[in-house]
Amino acid sequence: MEMSSQIAAIALGLGTDIVDIERIRRVHERHGERFLKRVFTQEEQDYCLGMKDPYPHLAARFAAKEAVSKCFGTGIGSEFGWTSVSIYKGSRQEPYARLDEKAQALLEKMGGSEVLVSLSHTSTLGHAVALIVKR
């Protein structure tokens, strides 16, 4: 059976991360707005802080940022910063990764066309998987 061109892709980078939700809560309580502004885009803050309990959502996005940085092989640093990616929801509530100019340049340098992400959280952990693909 032949795969649709919309489904077929080549994987160029894979990353995953898991974060303790209480760790995110403690850091936010200790550093407040400074932590939020340093790590999360306004888009992410608006979404997460609008939730009854924002910390599972913040933790999953924190994990996603780490996972995406691992895809690029850079980690979080000078080449790829905390706000180089913003995780947002699509029309069916599916997560998407929006890259800033610097991250988009890294993606193009790798020959990738997009970054796919999957987020999960339990009552204690936030988890994310990221995949750079070329379609």
Separation of CA 118 from chain center: 8
If we measure between CA atoms, which residue out of 64, 105, 69 comes closest to residue 86?
Answer: 64
Which entry of 37, 70, 127, 134 is annotated as an active-site residue?
A: 70
Known catalytic residue at 121: yes
Known catalytic residue at 70: yes
Which entry of 109, 121, 127, 134 is annotated as an active-site residue?
A: 121
Give the ranges where 14-118 is alpha helix by DSSP (H). Answer: 21-39, 42-49, 55-72, 101-110
How buried is residue 124: exposed, middle or buried, by Cβ count under 10 Å (0-12/13-18/19+)? exposed
Catalytic residues: 70, 121
